[in-house]
Structure 1
Amino acid sequence: MLSPQEDATHSGSTPSSPSVKLDRATVLGVTDPTTNTSQYLGIPFAQPPVGKLRFQLPQPIPPYASTLDATKHGKQPVQANLAAPAIPPGVVLPHEIGEFLRGLAQDVPQAPQSEDCLTDDGPGGGIRTGLNLNVVVPAGTKPDANLPVAVWIYGGAFQGGSNAAYTAGGAAIVKRSVELGQPLIFVSMNYRLGVFGFLGGKQVQDAGVGNLGLQDQREALRWIQRYISAFGGDPGKVTIWGESAGAQSVAYHMVANGGDTEGLFRAAWMQSGAVQPVGELTKLQATFDLIAREVGCASAPDVLARLREVPAEELRAAADKTMSPVFIYQGVGTLGPHADGRFLIEDPMQLVLKGQVADVPFVIGDCEDEGTLLALTRLDVTTDQQFAEYVKSAYLPTAPDEAIEVLMHHYPADPAAGSPYGTGDAYAFTPQYKRVAAFMGDWNFEAARRFFLKHLSGKQKAWSFVSKRSKVKGLGAVHSTDLQNVFGGGDMADFLIRFVNTLDPNGGPEIEWPTYDPEAPQLLAFVDGPKSLEIISDTFRKEAMEYLAFLGLVYPV
């Protein structure tokens, strides 16, 4: 994980600062001498979603007409306040886990949060909105350079995250792309989160304003089509790329609009995320009702209209009461993507089965121990009965008990079968911890990845990987550790750069990465040790993950 770039780096423009023309405006950027990149930060791509525009589809930004100071990050979307997981008495975790969690907390962006994000801090009084994006290009890039574009969508369980946290890493990738002779442009956008971006319920569905966070991302992609050429980018060579909730977002863009990309992207790269078994938006009705009661407008004639008038902080506080560490990822009641009949016409897994998916090359992969971090939120689960109750209440409330029993067979309490994998009986912090970690990792990530590949790789080019590096004691190759590779100058960055440029991650001195064959599936494994890269079979826990995919199709959350 990477810390936000120091604000001092973007203290203001100088006579030699880079600039671009957008409409009738001059956009002032800043040069980062350490990476030899030009950076344009906090550029608004949609109107501020406030007042009557709250809980509405993103509205395009009017033509730029005055000088815009893009030398520092814009304000960030309002984040949910999720409490840290409570550690039960008697449970002792390795100090390395505490250090890892503190590192994650330090990665929270320092740019201030606001829903409206209206300031007057730029030359000519430019608007700054939470719906802003950053553009990083090789220094000296001309408008006619026609460079490919890597568009980053950050993760954070659709509750948190910030484009400000990835500017330094994006600049490092741009620098590396120049060194490889395959330069690219890095773009990262913000989008509405939590209650502001993923409110659900019948009222939301009837108004056609579900999945607003995904709609924001789509609007940013439209902005790129209109304006990226001014920065030297080729709008016909866009790759969408994300991690965790960002990777899920990429997958949802692939199944949106009947699989028609609208020319917005030509390739996709997903790290720790694919389509999830999400049901209709109306499944969030209880959450909608609770929020409405908390802010005192449940009896209003038009509850959604009344919610647009509630102060942002009150609305966030109400939404926080519906959340808990138990549901930091997709589960019952989670304010995350659901089928809304408009952006996601139906359950995304069903869309994959029907072949309504963008026909573009893609890369998808996971970390080996995706579930260990999430399982820290359920250290209170210590018995078989509690495990069954947890799985049913959080993920499969409509599944019969017999289905839960079969699932428990596939995910036994034996610590040696659990995650972190390959550690035997070690790190069984509770009698069920490694079992919960194995289930959560496969449900949220591995089974979703394999389902996506099974139904698409025979029709379009696909590559898959597993990251086994950067292991944390007690957590293994935990969720998000692959970011250290791709943003930290590792070999994953080289594969990504080549893929963005040529639609094939191969072409360098590394091992040849085979395309995914569902009949003989193989993964590129990023491993520690002298080999560093290996080709391995993607058949581990085969029956267990097939069963999870079946449950997701039959009993969507």
Structure 2
Amino acid sequence: MSSSSLFKLGFLALLLETQVAVTVAAVLAAPSITLDSGTFVGTAGTNTQSFLGIPFAQPPVGDLRFRLPVANAAYTGTHNATAMGPACPQQAIKLPILTGLPQEVVDDVVNSIFGTVFPASEDCLTINVIKPTSATSTSKLPVVAWIFGGGFELGSTQMYDGTTIVQRSIAMGEPVIYVSMNYRVAAFGFLASKEVRAAGVGNLGLQDQRQALRWIQKYIGNFGGDPSKVTIWGESAGAISVSLQMLANGGNTEGLFRGAFMESGSPIPVGAIENGQKYYDQIVSQTGCSSASDTLACLRTVPFDKLKAAQDATPGIFSYQSLVLAWLPRADGTFLSDNPQRLVQQGKVANVPFVTGDCDDEGTLFSLSTLNITTDDQFLTWIKTFWVPQGSTAQGVALNTLYPSDQVDGSPFDTGLLNSVTPQFKRIAAFQGDAVFQAPRRFFQQTLSGKQKQWAFLSKREKAVPVLGSFHATDILNVYFDGELTDYLINFANNLDPNGKTVPSWPGYTTATPNMMTFLDGLIPTSITQDTYRAAGMQFLTNLTLQFPV
């Protein structure tokens, strides 16, 4: 069986596991929890209890569409908490049209991740809690708060079942409580324009996450959790969200979390919220709001289907511009007072311990939409068009040198001439992976070196997957299927240190000794390596994106 098929099976098993857990739990005695004057009836597993789909804010519908999340009134009555709530409205995924091996990979891997459709609704701000059965209101257990990924365009808590993590924590004698939250995505969560800035409603998806964290502070003690021991944790857009929660409000955590765990995501090189103006204007035009005196107020009255169609007409994560996303967090002057990387430079970062890392081939998955780029000139034109329109000729020459078209240098890295589906594919994949993931992580870690405890990792597993290699999201299997990252996460949530007796020693990260826990295929599954690869290229990209944020 191919490595890609194994990955697909693993991901599908994760989705199936969610359904099986719910089915098994249904035959056991239903547990209940009291919040305010309300009773929430959940489900019981073998040694866990789940309380799912609990609203943590008022539904963002009607006049609350495109507004900051509003806290619920006190709970009353009896509520069914046996199923996760619907996803927030998703942006439609349009996969690139491919042939040959790339198409086989898309069919085998990508569709298994992005092709799953989950029920969605504007009324989507719900939270899930999975706890050890033995936990009581006096247990004071650490909490891991999961923020899902999906390019800020899609995603749902329904994709992930944290039961295995709680069960593993029980087996380790370090029990934790697992929490996951929905948040608004795409245009519904990251509308960006001068109008949005003026109204103070930027980065609504991040604001939803913040509201969920406030809910945890208020209610997690009822489930046996300790509100002073919350670790925020995410992957991809979820990891970027974690890093931006560290930067929000000038680095003020509001006491909402004490540690951060990031998989494939760091403070990204984005600029002012007005950088999204063209997408805002496009939606305003397509919904018939152009003539309104208050276009934002008009958008609140647009029928859902019409607004969703206008959103879906904007570029998506697999469009030609790829990771130059239409919908993503931007500096709004309030929640994010400046460009994220500038905030890092200014030291406006929550002073909490953190773990962060990437997969080796972050860019391959997002470079399948650019296979028609086959020459150096076309590559530089694409960069100039979408990434740095203001860039100089000299910068283009430097990029051409640091990220050459030589297949041996490209991503999937360390695969020689293999995976060269076009003359430029491996080069574009190397550029995108470094520009959006690797270089921002290194910049984040090096800037904070010596200021707070931190650990780094690099996942080189699944390297044999054709075309994609150790592609974005492969590390999820290492944490949701009792891999080493599961134990490291549980240790970190308990002790603010990933090290423990069940896993290899993981030394901390500093600029002087940039240690990386590296996960490998084969008989030796881990190794400590140094964060020194592609130094000149990443430094160039960091300087370039600081000058020209997206």
TM-score > 0.5, shorter chain as reference: yes
Q: Quick one: distance in 1 between partners of 2:82 and 2:322? A: 34
Q: Which residue of the partner structure matches residue 125 of structure 1?
A: none
Matched, 1:77 2:88: yes
Question: Which residue of structure 2 lines up, in the alignment, with residue 480 of structure 1?
Answer: 473
The Cα shift of 1:510 comes to: 2.9
Partner residue in 2 for 1:443 = 435
Alignment match, 2:486 = 493
Amino acid at match of 1:494: D
Q: Distance in 1 between matches of 2:156 and 2:193?
A: 26
Match of 1:114 in 2: 121
Deviations 1:121-140 (A, max 9, x none): xxxxxxxxx00011000113
Question: What SS does the corresponding residue of 2:76 show, helix, strand or coil?
Answer: coil
CA distance in 2, matches of 1:12, 1:522: 42
Name the aligned partner's letter for residue 3 of structure 1: L
1:536 to 514, 529, 538: 529
1:104 to 103, 113, 126: 113
Counterpart of 2:19?
6
| 1:413 aligned counterpart, secondary structure | coil
| Pairwise CA distance, 1:13 | 6.4
Q: CA shift at 1:82, angstroms?
A: 2.1
User: Is 2:349 the partner of 1:357?
Assistant: yes
Deviation string for 1:352-399 (max 9, x for gaps)? Answer: 000000000000000011111111121121111111111122221222
Task: Find the partner of 2:30 among 9, 14, 17.
Answer: 17
| 1:182 equivalent in structure 2 | 174
Letter in 1 for 2:31: P
1:121: which partner in 2?
none
Q: Greater CA deviation, 156-165 or 4-13?
A: 4-13
Change (3 A) 1:416 1:13: closer
User: Partners of 1:479 and 1:105 in 2: how far apart?
Assistant: 12
1:527 corresponds to which letter in structure 2? Answer: L
The unaligned stretches of length 5 or more in structure 1 are 117-129
1:527–1:92 Cα change, 3 Å = closer
Does the residue aligned with 1:374 lie in a helix, a strand or coil?
helix
Distance of aligned partners of 1:166 and 1:381 in 2 relative to their CA distance in 1, 3 Å threshold:
same
- 1:300 pairs with 2:292: yes
Q: Is the 8 A contact 1:151 1:239 kept in 2?
A: yes
State yes or no: 1:374 paired with 2:366.
Answer: yes
Q: 1:7, CA displacement in angstroms?
A: 7.6
Aligned-partner SS, 2:233? strand
Deviations 1:428-486 (A, max 9, x none): 10110000000010011000110000111220000000011123122111100000111
Contact 1:94 1:473 in 2 (8 A): no
Structure 2 counterpart of 1:146 = 140
Q: Mean Cα displacement is larger for which, 401-410 or 413-422? A: 401-410
Quick check: 1:93 aligned with 2:85? no
Residue aligning to 1:200? 192
Residue 225 of structure 2 corresponds to which residue in structure 1?
A: 233
C-alpha distance in 1 between matches for 2:90 and 2:105: 27
> SS of the residue aligned with 1:6?
helix
1:152 to partner: Cα distance: 0.2
- Aligned twin of 1:126: none
Distance 1:102 1:56 in 2: 33
1:551 alignment partner in structure 2:
544
Moved more, 274-283 or 467-476: 467-476
Would you say the 8 A contact 1:330–1:336 is kept in 2?
no
User: Which residue of 2 is the match for residue 135 of structure 1?
Assistant: 129
Q: Given residue 406 of structure 2, which amino acid in structure 1 is its aligned partner? A: D
**Which of 156, 159, 182 is the equivalent residue of 1:162?**
156
Residues of 2 paired with 1:142 and 1:520: CA distance? 42
Supply the distance in 2 between the matched residues of 1:435 and 1:402 (Cα, whole angstroms). 19
Q: Once the 2 structures are TM-superposed, how far is the Cα of residue 86 of structure 1 from its aligned partner? A: 1.8
1:330 shift after superposition: 4.2
1:272 deviation in Å? 0.2
Superposed displacement of residue 280, structure 1? 0.5
CA distance in 1, matches of 2:492, 2:333: 33
Contact kept? 1:467, 1:482, Cα under 8 Å: yes
Matched, 1:65 2:59: no
Q: Which amino acid aligns with 2:452?
A: Q
Q: Distance in 1 between matches of 2:228 and 2:129?
A: 17
Paired amino acid for 2:397 = E
Matches of 1:518 and 1:85, distance apart in 2: 40
Q: Residue 458 of structure 2 corresponds to which residue in structure 1?
A: 466
Say if 1:13 and 1:29, in contact at 8 Å, map to a contact too.
no
Measure how far apart 1:102 and its partner are: 2.9
Of 286, 289, 303, 2:281 maps to 289
TM-score, normalised via structure 1 length = 0.93
Secondary structure of 1:242's match? strand
Match of 1:32 in 2: 45
Correspondences of 1:315-354 after superposition (within 5 Å): 315-324=307-316, 325-326=318-319, 330-331=323-324, 334-354=326-346
Number of equivalenced pairs: 535
The answer to whether the 8 Å contact 1:506/1:512 transfers is yes
What is the identity percentage for the equivalent residue pairs of Structure 1 and Structure 2?
Answer: 47
Aligned-pair Cα RMSD in Å = 1.6
Which amino acid is 1:115 matched to? E
Structure 1 CA distance for aligned equivalents of residues 20 and 182 of structure 2: 18
Q: Which moved more, 1:466-475 or 1:421-430?
A: 466-475
What one-letter code is carried by the residue in structure 2 that aligns with 1:395? W
For residues 320 and 228 of structure 2, what CA distance do their matches in structure 1 show? Answer: 38
2:252 is aligned with 1:260: yes
Flag the 1:361–1:109 CA change in 2: closer, same or farther, 3 A. Answer: farther
SS of residue in 2 equivalent to 1:352: helix
**What's the offset of the Cα at 1:552?**
1.1
SS of 2:276's equivalent?
A: helix
Cα drift, residue 328 of structure 1: 7.5
Equivalent position amino acid for 1:552 in 2: T
Matched position secondary structure for 2:195: helix
- Answer yes or no: is the 8 Å Cα contact 1:468–1:527 preserved in 2: yes
2:62 maps to 1:55: no
Q: Does the 8 Å CA contact 2:322/2:369 hold for their aligned counterparts? A: no
- The question of 1:274 aligning with 2:263 is answered no
CA distance in 2, matches of 1:51, 1:446: 40
Shift of 1:29: 0.6
